[in-house]
Structure 1
C-alpha cells in the first residue's frame, strides 16, 4: 500500500497532478486508513500509468476517460481523431517557428506577408527610421481597425513604389519633417503631392470606405508617431489645392 507521495514517485508525476486526476474522475480516490492517510494499491499504479501515458501523448484530460472506457474500435477512433488534432497543432507551431526564423525584427510579426513585402521595398528608398516606423505602424493599425480596406489599398501602394513621382514625394515628406511650417519649399512639395494625388485612386473611392467609421479614417490617415508642424501645413496646402482642382474639374464638366 502506497502513500500519495510514493505513488507520485512511481508514476513520475507530482502529488498535485494526482489530486487533479482525482478531481476530474480519472483516478479513483481511495478511502483513508485509520491514521487518516489515503493508501493506494497496485491497481492505482496501473490506472495512474495509463492516465499519465495518455496525457503525455497529448490527449486532453477531458477526453482521457472516454478513451479509457471505450472498446477497442471506439478507442482507435478516438485516438485517430486526437492524433489528427495534434498533427494540425504541430503544423501551426511549425508555421510559427518558420515565421520567427524568417523575420529579423519582432515588430514585423504584427504584419501580414504582403505588408512585409511593402516594407522591404520601402526600405530601399532610404527614408528615415522614424518615417518608416510611422508607415509600418499605420499598416499595423490599418489591419487592426479596417483590415479589408487596408488589403484593398496595399496593392496600389506597393505598385507606387516603382513610381518615380511617388518616391520623390515620399522623400520630400521625409526631408520636410523638421522644416518650419513657413518654409517656402513646402509650396513646391504640396504641388508635387497634389499632382500625384490627382492621378491616384483616392481612398474614399475604394469599395467599403463608406462602411468604415469616420474616427477610424482619422486614425488611419494621420501621421503616426510624428509630430511635424511642417507636415500639418502640408496637409492644409494639399487639401486647399485638391479642393480647387475638384471645383475646376466640376466646372469644366458641367460647362
Structure 2
C-alpha cells in the first residue's frame, strides 16, 4: 500500500492534484490506517493512471468523471473517439507547421516557383532590395488576376536575363530610381528601352505585355500602381510611352 505522496511521485503528479481528483469525485478517498495515513492500493493506482492519461489528452474533468464509471465497452469506445479527435488535432497542427515553414521560405508563400526563381535571379544580378520588393508586388497582383499565365510569363522573363544587354537595362533602371525627375539621362534610358522593345499597348485582355515579359523593367510601371511612386521611374514611363506612341 502506498501513501498519497508515494503514489503521486510514482505517477508524476502532485499531491495537490490527487487531492483535487478526490474533491471532484474522480477518485474515492481511501480510509486512513491506524497511523492516520491514507493508503492507496493497486486499484487506486490504475484509476489515477487513467485519470492522468485522459487529463493529459485534454479531456475535461467532467467527461473523465463519466468515463470512470463507464462499462469497459463504453470506456473503450470513448477512448477510441478521443484518439480519433487527437489524430485530427495532430493533422491540423501539422498543417499549421507547414504554413509556418512556408513563412520561413519567404516569397514561396505568395508566389509560384517560377516567379520565385525570377526574383532570385534579380537579386543575383545585383538589383536593390526595394526594386526586388516592388517587382514582387507586381507578380503578387498578376498571380491574383492571371494565375494560369503567370508561370509562363515568369519563365520567359527569366530567360531574358541571359542577354547581357537586358541585364544592364534592368540595372540601369534600378539605379535611375535615385535620379531626379528632370535628369537628362532618363531620355537616353528611354531610348535604350525603346530600342530593346519599348512599351506596347495592352492586348485584348487588358494585359500590358511589359508587366509580364517585355524589355522594360516591370517596376517602372508598377511603381505608379502600387502606391510606391518614384518620380524618375514615372518620368521614364512617360518617355517610353511617348516613344511607343501610347502616351503624350
TM-score class, shorter: 0.5 to 0.7
Deviation at 1:49, TM superposition (A): 1.4
Equivalents in 2 of 1:69, 1:219: separation in Å? 70
1:2–1:41 CA contact under 8 A, matched in 2: yes
Q: Which runs of 5+ in 2 are unaligned?
A: 209-221
Deviations 1:71-102 (A, max 9, x none): 3443333223222223333344555667888x
Which residue of the other structure, out of 106, 115, 118, is the alignment partner of 1:118? 115
1:5–1:15 CA contact under 8 A, matched in 2: yes
Query: Which one has the largest radius of gyration?
Result: 2
2:48 is matched with: 48
SS in 2 for 1:53: helix
- Correspondence 1:70-81 to 2 at 5 A: 70-81=70-81
Deviation at 1:234, TM superposition (A): 1.2
Normalised by the size of structure 2, how large is the TM-score? Answer: 0.55
Deviation at 1:119, TM superposition (A): 0.5
2:213 is matched with: none
Equivalents in 1 of 2:67, 2:239: separation in Å? 72
Deviation at 1:54, TM superposition (A): 3.0
SS in 1 for 2:175: coil
Equivalents in 2 of 1:21, 1:232: separation in Å? 72
Count of matched residue pairs:
214
- Structure 1 residue 198 and structure 2 residue 202: aligned? yes
Q: Which runs of 5+ in 1 are unaligned?
A: 203-216, 224-228, 249-255
Equivalents in 2 of 1:131, 1:164: separation in Å? 19
2:154 is matched with: 161
Which residue of the other structure, out of 197, 217, 221, is the alignment partner of 2:226? 221
Equivalents in 2 of 1:240, 1:26: separation in Å? 83
Equivalents in 2 of 1:197, 1:85: separation in Å? 57
- Structure 1 residue 84 and structure 2 residue 84: aligned? yes
Equivalents in 1 of 2:134, 2:28: separation in Å? 61
Deviation at 1:122, TM superposition (A): 3.6
**1:44 to 1:79, Cα distance in 2 relative to 1, 3 A:** closer
Deviations 1:24-46 (A, max 9, x none): x3734859x9xxx9956435433
Normalised by the size of structure 1, how large is the TM-score? Answer: 0.54
1:115–1:154 CA contact under 8 A, matched in 2: no
- Structure 1 residue 65 and structure 2 residue 65: aligned? yes
RMSD: 5.1
1:193–1:238 CA contact under 8 A, matched in 2: no
1:187 is matched with: 190
SS in 1 for 2:202: helix
- Structure 1 residue 108 and structure 2 residue 114: aligned? no
**1:219 to 1:190, Cα distance in 2 relative to 1, 3 A:** closer
